[in-house]
Amino acid sequence: MVDVILGLQWGDEGKGKIVDYFAPEYDIIARFQGGPNAGHTLYVDGKKMVLHQIPSGIFHQNTINIIGNGVVLDPVTLKRECDAVAAYGVDVRKNLFISQRTNIIVPTHRALDKASELQKGESKIGSTLKGIGPAYMDKTGRNALRVGDLLHPNFSKQYTDLRNKHQVLLDNFNFTEDISASEQEFFEALEFLKTLNVINCEYFINDNISKGKKVLAEGAQGSMLDIDFGTFPFVTSSNTTSAGVCTGLGVSPRQINDVLGVTKAYCTRVGGGPFPTELHDATGEELRRIGSEFGATTGRPRRCGWIDLVALKFACMINGVSKIIMTKADVLDSFNELNVCTAYNLGGTQTTEVPFQMSGIDIEPVWKSFAGWNMDTTAIKEAAALPETMSTYIDFINNYVGAPVKFVSNGPGREQIVRL
């Protein structure tokens, strides 16, 4: 069976640490969507490591790590990460596998990303400019290069044809950028990519499942950034929900078992787009300061606010979440009062449903207040030691969203997780 770990908000929920925590229980960790726009932060031997392409189980030597076909792969980013991981004594040639069907991000994808954002002006979506959107557009437009194409003798012509198609688009944008240096680095990274384990992933993963191996599918970004169900158009270009596991790895829906959803104890968002519970005051600044809320990939300050239970319940519903992991609960340790959003007020009409279109409409949160716990929880190891006010806060969330919080993360360390 396949268990899934994914984000329930707008990304940055701390999924990397959670995957790392659960990795020893699994034989295979597999990324099923997204690209180098997602940063999963781990702490290895006390040192911070941010992974953008490699699955978060890479530091467990006996665990197979797979980059699935639903991912868009930047070979340059991958090579840099492999070099960084190798410095910790990890042999990526032993436990990193890449699907033949994984789409490749080429240098002109990044140029197209920049050109598109510049043209949008004030309406830009806040792209990380990593070439993600254009790469997925080439996938659905049936123009993409895939990892398996690297072994084809006609690859150079395929690449040149794609680059020429992109150049026409860039000319239409009146956008000029010299990609010669990045192109040289790209081709060097492709040679490195050829030395890794390139597999027929759907057969590989299903064969392992039939042998009783346990698989953990690792999501990137968050459910509210899903291309279909997120806050469109301020979304990513892939399906970040549990449905994306099947198309992103080549497994059937019958193979999906537990869906573990990750949410912060509050809410953050990077880039543009709707954020009903965002705080534009000193409380929002305090959440950002205490939580060190800056993007793992871009370094941009994250927008901060109270937890949005309307959006969280929606995410639990569309993902079929069976267990919730609440991260960064310790960030709320010093607050006297906490608020949660239990409904949206839309022009005088109250609703507990996420609107079809959240952009361009006035959404006023309906708040419910809770007393804070006003104590340092970072050293707590057992559920019985958690303050009663925290338990009250969590119990309300359990009942509202219809899925139980089973784990609480109370610090950045691998060991700082309380099982409820």
Active site residues: 12, 40
Question: Can you tell me whether residue 355 is helix, strand or coil?
Answer: coil
What is the β-pairing status of strands 215-218 and 28-31?
parallel
Burial of 247 (0-12, 13-18, 19+ CB in 10 A): middle
Report which DSSP code applies to 121: G
Q: Is 9 in contact with 312 (CB distance < 8 Å)?
A: yes
The four Cα atoms 61, 66, 71, 72 give a dihedral, to 10 degrees, of 70
CA–CA distance, 401 with 393 (Å, rounded to integer): 13
Cβ neighbours of 200 (radius 10 Å): 13
Q: φ and ψ at 24, to 5 degrees?
A: -60, -20
Question: Can you tell me whether residue 107 is helix, strand or coil?
Answer: helix
CA–CA distance, 10 with 252 (Å, rounded to integer): 26
DSSP string, 371-408: E---S--TT--SGGGS-HHHHHHHHHHHHHHTS-EEEE
C-alpha distances out from residue 209 to 3, 67, 212, Å:
12, 17, 5
